[in-house]
Amino acid sequence: MKLEIVKSPYFLAGLTIISIFILMALLADVISPYSPVEGVGPPLQPPSPRYLVGTDNLGRDMLSRIIHGSRIMLTIVMIAVCLSGMVGTIIGLISGYVGGVLDRILSFVMDSIYAFPPLILAIALSVALGPSPLNAAIAIAVVYIPTYFRMVRGQVLSIKNELFIEMARALGIPSTRIVLRHILPHLTQTLMVVFSMNSADAILTEAALSFMGLTVQPPTPDWGFDLYKGRGFILAGAWWMLVFPGIMITLLALGFALISEGVSKSASRG
């Protein structure tokens, strides 16, 4: 099964894209040609050999900004996805295994969150918590908790009726152990799919929050915020200020989507 995943072209393509972005974030200081926050040339220069993707309205090198922008994006998205994955999975396990009134209450709460349009909820939470990268991550996490919850709960409901769970109960294995050692391992593959799919979503949500200025403060380089700024210069013909940050957001989301596709394809093949 593991080999299957690795052989999947979707998975490989996705992994390559993500790896490049991660490397870019790690080596940002080394590979950027200029400082991302200081003006290094004339403003609104189109792409040229000297400024590969042009400069912005303050004369900052767009390439350096884009490279550095991957840091904040990846950090926020990873914190958000790990947080919502963890919380959603734990609540889902408890809700599904315990069942009864607790399950109904938790499901009700989760469904209420799920019923909101994710972006609007994320914006509302972000505003309420105040603009900062960590708060943005928390807002994104809350929005996606129900995704994990619903998936995990559903799987637990079906696995808990398997005979080996009944056998474990008949052998006096404690409930927490049954959940963690006998149910959770059966969820790994599905969790991987949801995790990567969810990362793709979270990237778009993060970009939207940045666009509204709810994550970092200028002059910190950030793709979403650069998009927002570039918007004002499109009539001036500065298309590079919009196009390049946009491509980065799309590519990163695509990378995660490809991974999820690869994993789910090999999972369904069994």
Partner 1 sequence: MKEVLEVSDLWIKYYTLSGVVHAVSGASFQLGKGEMVAVVGESGSGKSTLGYALLNMVPKPGKIVRGQVLLDGVDILKLGPEELRRIRGSKVSMIFQDPFTTLDPLRKLGTQFEEFLIEHGVERAKARAMVKEFLVAVGLPERAMHSYPHQLSGGQKQRVSIAMAVALNPVVMVADEPTTALDVIVQRQIMDLIDDIRKRVGTSVVLITHDLALALERADTIMVMYGGYVMERADKKRLLANMIHPYTKALFESLPRMSQKRMPKFLPGYPPDLRNPPSGCIFHPRCAFAQEKCRSVAPVLNEIARNHFVACHLAGGEQ
The structure tokens listed for 71 are 């840091």
Are 83 and 141 in contact by the 8 Å Cβ rule? The answer is yes
When asked if residue 172 is in the footprint of partner 1 (CB under 8 A), the reply is yes
Number of residues binding to partner 1, judged by CB under 8 A: 17
When asked if residue 1 is in the footprint of partner 1 (CB under 8 A), the reply is no
| Of the residues 86, 104, 164, 232, which one makes contact with partner 1 according to CB under 8 A | 164
Least CB distance to partner 1 at residue 182 (A)? 5
Cα gap 179→154, rounded to integer Å? 14
When asked if residue 98 is in the footprint of partner 1 (CB under 8 A), the reply is no
Binding segment toward partner 1, per CB under 8 A, in 40-48, 63-71, 168-176, 239-247:
168-176
SS (H, E, C) 68-86: HHHHHHHHHHHHHHHHHHH
Helices 100-115 and 62-98 sit at what angle, rounded to 10 degrees?
150
Cα gap 166→178, rounded to integer Å? 10
When asked if residue 270 is in the footprint of partner 1 (CB under 8 A), the reply is no
When asked if residue 171 is in the footprint of partner 1 (CB under 8 A), the reply is yes
When asked if residue 174 is in the footprint of partner 1 (CB under 8 A), the reply is yes
Cα gap 230→249, rounded to integer Å? 15
Cα gap 58→8, rounded to integer Å? 44
* Residue 104 CA to its chain's centroid (Å): 28
When asked if residue 30 is in the footprint of partner 1 (CB under 8 A), the reply is no
Look at the block and give the residue holding tokens 């998009």: 227
Neighbours of 100 (CB within 10 A): 8
Site string for partner 1, 114-153 (x = CB under 8 A): ----------------------------------------
Site string for partner 1, 179-208 (x = CB under 8 A): --xx--xx----------------------
Nearer to partner 1, 48 or 175 (CB): 175
When asked if residue 163 is in the footprint of partner 1 (CB under 8 A), the reply is yes
Interacting residues with partner 1 (CB under 8 A)? 162-164, 166-174, 177, 181-182, 185-186
